[in-house]
Every structure is written in structure tokens, then in C-alpha cells.
Structure 1
Amino acid sequence: MIIDKVLENNQNFVENFEGEELGHLPKMNLCIVTCMDTRLTNFLEPALGIDREDAKIIRNAGNTIVGEDVIRSVAAAVYSLGCEEVMVIGHTNCGMKNANVDKIKSSMIEKGVPEEEINKVDLSKWIGSIEDEEINVIETVKKIKEHPLIADGIIVHGLIVDIVTGELKVLVKG
């Protein structure tokens, strides 16, 4: 099982790690909404020049807003944890671009999700399938800025990071 390997790795980590007490407030007063793509792990933070403790990072499939969870997390970062700026950072070659909803539905059924439950939602919208990474970032920025619980003065940027080179492209500045 994967958990056994993770626990073994954790034991090795703990034995070799010099722990330190860190604060929970982001030093840069920055909140980042980004994708859960595995290629961003140990890549995005160095590409941005940020370290542990610098920013609150919210990850989800395709850095999209489906429902209220992302907005809730952004609001917590802003109103409770002192974030002053938000960056929505998408990436090139996103797996959520044109996600195969039929394949997802088949996999859900195969794993035991009743088809009648799947049919209760628009699976494409629910899963957060996107057509274009840049448009998705711009739309996500707009959703955050226009949400009634996000104050007008909150600065929200939109960027794309090249998944190969790490180069940032600004799509929306503040």
C-alpha cells in the first residue's frame, strides 16, 4: 500500500529533519490559488522565489472556482491571516483542459458511484473542465474579484507559469 511507503519516508524525514517553530501567518501577505498538478510540486515556489511560510497556497484541479471552497479559503487568507494580495496561477498543459468527462464518468461508475448520483450534476462543470488555461485564469480572477464577500480593495492578479521553463506570464495585474 502507498501509505506504508509514505510512513516509511516520513520516519526517515523525521530522523533527518531539524524542525523549527514557524508562524502560521504568511510573511509576504500573499495568497496563491493554483492547480493541484504534481508537476508544480517543488517547482512553483522556487519559480516564484517564495519559501516555506511566505504564502498561503490553495490548490485544486485546474485552479478553478466550482462552488464556494476556493472563495472560502481566499476569504480566510485575507480576513483571518492577513493576506493583502491574491495570485491566481495557472499553468501550461493543464490536465483539466478539455478533461474527458465520459472517461471520468466511466471511472466513477467502475469504482462504484451510482450513475443516478452522477447524473444529478453537470459533470463537466462539477469536475471543472476548462477549455483554455489563460481564459480560465482570467475567469477565476473575475470570480474572486466579483464575489460579494471579497472586498473591492483586495488585489487579485492572474498569471500562467510555463510548466517546462518556469517562466511567468502576467494575464491580469491587480
Structure 2
Amino acid sequence: MADFDDLLAANRSFAETFDLAGFDGIARAGVAMVTCMDSRIDPLGMIGLSPGDAKILRNPGGRVTDQALVAIVLGVNLLQVDRVMIIEHTRCAMASASEDELKARLGRAAGTDASWMSLGAVDDQHATIRADVQRVRSHPLVRPDVAVGGFLYDVDSGLLSPVE
């Protein structure tokens, strides 16, 4: 476990001022966000929220995967979510190459065949965002009064742009 000593030390410092004890886990601001796992993204900070305010779902490319959709359904029905943001970002690795090119790069990096794995490359971010928004809006367990919006985050300016 020595590989994690720095992180565990940071956690002990974090715990000294931890103030979310006893919180019930609802989304206090009523927000759920699906975004990319990219480390340049600060999901809460970019929309002015704090821990406890939103449900944050992250994966490569910021896609509404089956598991992300399950989390959204739970959020809107059990955790007071009434707004869902689907956010992809500029300069995303998942939008930088085709599925086959990404599989080849992954295979070379891992030193083993990755052609069998579905990675979810994004050919057209605007089209993908619109499709994912529609996927959430049309789900039978997502109420019509839940606001669902798609956005593109600029990793160089920090600005979100709506995708209609």
C-alpha cells in the first residue's frame, strides 16, 4: 500500500475538516451531470456547485451509457434530481480518432489485442450530445418535467456552450 501513502495522508487532512457527515445523499441543487473522466474537468466548480449539490457521473467521452442512464433514473426518482446535464468537452481523446484507431492505440500501449473491446469513440460531438439528451428525455422512467440539456465544455476557456 506504500504506493498510496501520499493520497492517504491527504485524506487524513481532508477528514480533519470534513463536514458532510450525516448528509442524506440527495442532490441538494437537483442536478445530475454526465461528463468525461478527463482530469481537466472540475464538474462541480464549473457550474458553481459544492459537494452534496449534484450527482456526478463520469466515463470516457461523457456518454449516457446504460449504467449512466440507470444512475439518472435513480437520481430523478429517488434523489431529487430535476435537471440533467450531458457534457462532452473539447480536445477529448474519445473524439480524436475513430473506434478502430483508438483500439489500435490501446492495443499498442497495453501490448495486447484490444480489438474486441468497445471503447465508444465519438465521431461528431454535437450529434452525440443531442442523441444522449434524447436518450434521457425519452426514457420511460424520466419524467417529462425533468430538464435535460446538452453542452460542450471548452477545456481551454472553462466555458460551457449549449448544444441544441
Q: TM-score, normalised by structure 1?
A: 0.78
Query: How far did 1:4 drift?
Result: 2.8
Count of aligned pairs between the two proteins: 158
Match of 1:133 in 2: 125
- Equivalences for 1:135-154 in 2 at 5 Å? 135-154=127-146
Name the SS of the counterpart of 1:89 in structure 2. strand
Could you tell me how far apart the structure 2 residues matched to 1:60 and 1:33 are? 8
Name the SS of the counterpart of 2:76 in structure 1. helix
Paired letter, 2:138 = E
Q: Relative to 1, partners in 2 of residues 1:18 and 1:80: Cα closer, same or farther, differing over 3 Å?
A: closer
* Richer in helix (by share): 1
For residues 95-143 of structure 1, what are the alpha-carbon distances to aligned partners after superposition, in whole Å with 9 as ceiling and x for unaligned? 21134221123445x26xxx5xx55x4x4xx211112332221121122
Could you tell me how far apart the structure 2 residues matched to 1:20 and 1:78 are? 22
Could you tell me how far apart the structure 1 residues matched to 2:20 and 2:128 are? 38
For residues 71-98 of structure 1, what are the alpha-carbon distances to aligned partners after superposition, in whole Å with 9 as ceiling and x for unaligned? 1010011111111111111111112113
Stretches of structure 1 lacking an aligned partner (at least 5 in a row): none
Quick check: 1:93–1:163 contact (8 Å CA) kept in 2?
yes
Could you tell me how far apart the structure 1 residues matched to 2:137 and 2:20 are? 36
- Equivalences for 1:20-169 in 2 at 5 Å? 20-21=20-21, 22-40=23-41, 43-66=42-65, 68-99=66-97, 100-108=102-110, 110=111, 115=113, 121=116, 123=117, 126-169=118-161
Could you tell me how far apart the structure 1 residues matched to 2:130 and 2:40 are? 22
Stretches of structure 2 lacking an aligned partner (at least 5 in a row): none
Match of 2:10 in 1: 9
Could you tell me how far apart the structure 2 residues matched to 1:52 and 1:13 are? 13
Name the SS of the counterpart of 1:26 in structure 2. coil
Percent identical = 25
Match of 1:19 in 2: 19
Paired letter, 2:126 = E
Quick check: 1:30–1:55 contact (8 Å CA) kept in 2?
yes
Q: Which moved more, 1:98-107 or 1:87-96?
A: 98-107
Q: Relative to 1, partners in 2 of residues 1:130 and 1:20: Cα closer, same or farther, differing over 3 Å?
A: closer
Could you tell me how far apart the structure 1 residues matched to 2:158 and 2:76 are? 27
Q: Output the aligned Cα RMSD.
A: 2.2
